């Protein structure tokens, strides 16, 4: 067990190069494969939002996307972590990529046969959410097998970059394809992006079998994970703050409305607007890699989420498209910092035999918050508009962060030495 906790302290005299983990063959294959699959997921999310708005013209319907994401997350989310602690994580990753093909192929067939209705998109959205529940904890828990202990934090940060890069590339590619080809062909291209992932994941050699005592998929195993999170109060605090913030400040569905109804920039402009937060996220990720170790992690987290709250207000008040891009960039930059902190501490604090469950709790808070936030954004925007919803969310988010920063001094004072 002691070997599992070695990565918790990083020596200042032994700095890790920003791209060190990519020198390891298995991690390199997993990173590249995860990037291809994540681009496909982000591309399909943007396509689905655009298509729903084209079919219905309703912000309310955009908000319902969150409902069909949150249902499988709330019902099955914690079982994903138990499954990752019981079964071979490498095989779970391969199975998840096969499952990722189904929504894209199904939607392509429905569009080409001119039988698609909005409820088909909702159903496949729920299926995608269920597949992500299987993939997320398995991939996160697999990382420590692919790199040596002193590269763990670097590997976690690089793994976080997968999402940032995919949010940058996926929406732009999806938006351009919407303007230049049919929706059916867009979904076919989306399905093809899962094939490189299957090939790359099959090349990984490291064992994916969990260490420690044998487990079974049961409620008892879930309660063990809940007990671990409860006693690791720093992780619990980070998850809860992020959960509350995202519910009132999830902005992605509103970008579709801003691009279409406020700035009138078309599919390509929508893709660029969706990509602006990803550019900010990627720059935030680069900043963290360049800085290396950050001791005052709690304070950095609170500053980053406060910056996110201000970014929401900025985006809601932006009168011009270029200012909206700058505000969206700010949201991405600040969000990436908080995400890396949460994921790094989850990896460092959890032993291998419970790492899948710890990751599933992190994913549950994040995914459920995103889904509920998507619903809240769509419903409120139907009443007060996209700009008003962003300003309202930013004000509430500012209050949440201020209250936590003033009352939870343990989080404010937290440093890496406390590990």
What DSSP assignment string belongs to 17-75?
PTTGGGGSHHHHHHHHHHHHHHHHHHHHHHHHHHHHHHHH--HHHHHHHHHHHHHHHHH
CA–CA separation, 238 and 234 (whole Å): 6
Question: In a 3-state reduction of DSSP, which class is residue 260?
Answer: helix
Residue 419 scores a pLDDT above 60 = no
Residue among 237, 209, 221 nearest 345 (CA): 237
Q: 39 near 166, Cβ under 8 Å? A: yes
Q: How high is the mean pLDDT of the chain?
A: 79
Report the percentage of the chain scoring pLDDT > 90: 10
Which range, 30-44, 215-229, 334-348, is most confident? 30-44
Three-point CA angle 376, 365, 314, nearest 5°:
50
Q: What is the pLDDT of residue 212?
A: 60
Q: What is the pLDDT of residue 64?
A: 78
Pair of tokens at residue 346: 């989850």
Q: 68 near 125, Cβ under 8 Å? A: yes
Q: 343 near 140, Cβ under 8 Å? A: yes
CA–CA separation, 358 and 350 (whole Å): 7
Burial of 12 (0-12, 13-18, 19+ CB in 10 A): exposed
**Per residue in 367-410, pLDDT tens?**
677 767 777 777 888 888 888 889 998 898 888 888 777 766 66
Cite the DSSP H helix spans in 113-202.
Answer: 118-146, 152-180, 183-192, 194-202
Residue 105 scores a pLDDT above 80 = yes
Q: What is the pLDDT of residue 3?
A: 37
Q: 366 near 235, Cβ under 8 Å? A: no
Give the list of residues 6+ apart from residue 173 with CB closer than 8 angstroms, or none. 39, 43, 271
**Per residue in 181-239, pLDDT tens?**
888 888 999 899 889 999 999 999 888 787 665 566 666 777 777 777 777 767 777 77
Burial of 224 (0-12, 13-18, 19+ CB in 10 A): middle
* pLDDT class of 418 with cuts at 50, 70, 90: very low
Residue 110 scores a pLDDT above 80 = yes
CA–CA separation, 285 and 298 (whole Å): 17
Top-confidence residue, 119 or 234: 119
Residue among 142, 123, 246 nearest 204 (CA): 142
Q: What is the pLDDT of residue 329?
A: 92
* pLDDT class of 28 with cuts at 50, 70, 90: very high
CA–CA separation, 136 and 55 (whole Å): 31
The DSSP letter of residue 17 is P
Question: pTM for the complete prediction?
Answer: 0.65
**Per residue in 139-185, pLDDT tens?**
888 888 888 877 777 787 788 778 778 877 887 888 888 888 888 88
Q: What is the pLDDT of residue 1?
A: 36
Report the percentage of the chain scoring pLDDT > 70: 85
Pair of tokens at residue 384: 């007060």
**Per residue in 263-281, pLDDT tens?**
877 777 887 888 888 788 8
Which range, 147-156, 242-251, 360-369, is most confident? 242-251
Residue among 302, 331, 280 nearest 411 (CA): 302
Residues in the chain: 419
Which range, 72-76, 152-156, 255-259, 333-337, is most confident? 333-337
Top-confidence residue, 56 or 375: 56
**Which range among 66-75, 81-90, 246-255, 280-289 shows the weakest confidence by mean pLDDT?**
66-75
CA–CA separation, 354 and 400 (whole Å): 30
Q: What is the pLDDT of residue 12?
A: 43
CA–CA separation, 125 and 312 (whole Å): 26
**Which range among 25-34, 43-52, 401-410 shows the weakest confidence by mean pLDDT?**
401-410
Residue among 268, 144, 277 nearest 206 (CA): 144
């Amino acid at each position: 067990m002691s070997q599992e906790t070695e990565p918790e302290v990083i020596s200042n005299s032994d700095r890790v190069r920003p791209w060190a983990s990519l020198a390891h063959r298995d991690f390199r294959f997993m990173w590249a494969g995860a990037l291809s699959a994540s681009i496909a997921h982000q591309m399909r999310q943007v396509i689905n939002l655009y298509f729903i708005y084209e079919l219905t013209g309703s912000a309310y319907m955009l908000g319902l996307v969150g409902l069909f994401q949150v249902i499988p997350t709330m019902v099955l989310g914690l079982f994903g972590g138990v499954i990752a602690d019981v079964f071979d994580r490498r095989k779970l990753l391969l199975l998840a990529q096969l499952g990722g093909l189904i929504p894209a192929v199904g939607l392509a067939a429905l569009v080409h046969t001119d039988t698609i209705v909005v409820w088909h998109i909702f159903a496949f959205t729920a299926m995608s959410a269920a597949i992500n529940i299987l993939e997320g904890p398995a991939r996160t828990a697999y990382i420590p097998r692919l790199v040596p202990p002193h590269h763990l934090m670097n590997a976690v940060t690089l793994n976080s970059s997968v999402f940032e890069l995919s949010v940058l590339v996926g929406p732009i590619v999806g938006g351009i394809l919407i303007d230049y080809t049919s929706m059916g062909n867009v979904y076919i291209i989306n399905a093809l992006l899962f094939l490189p992932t299957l090939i790359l994941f099959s090349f990984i050699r490291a064992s994916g079998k969990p260490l420690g005592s044998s487990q079974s998929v049961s409620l008892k195993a879930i309660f063990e994970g809940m007990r671990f999170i409860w006693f690791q109060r720093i992780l619990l605090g980070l998850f809860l703050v992020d959960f509350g913030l995202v519910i009132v400040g999830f902005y992605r569905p509103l970008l579709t409305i801003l691009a279409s109804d406020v700035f009138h920039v078309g599919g390509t402009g929508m893709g660029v607007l969706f990509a602006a937060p990803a550019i900010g996220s990627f720059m935030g990720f680069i900043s963290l890699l360049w800085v290396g170790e950050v001791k005052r992690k709690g304070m950095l987290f609170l500053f980053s989420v406060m910056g996110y709250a201000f970014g929401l207000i900025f985006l809601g008040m932006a009168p011009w498209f270029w200012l909206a891009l700058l505000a969206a960039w700010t949201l991405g930059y600040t969000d990436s910092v908080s995400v890396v902190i949460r994921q790094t501490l989850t990896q460092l604090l959890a032993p291998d035999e419970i790492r899948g469950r710890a990751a599933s709790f992190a994913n549950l808070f994040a995914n459920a918050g995103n889904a509920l936030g998507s619903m809240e954004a769509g419903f409120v925007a139907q009443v007060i508009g996209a700009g008003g919803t962003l300003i309202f969310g930013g004000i509430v988010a500012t209050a949440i962060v201020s209250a936590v920063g003033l009352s939870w001094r343990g989080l404010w004072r937290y440093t890496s030495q406390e590990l």
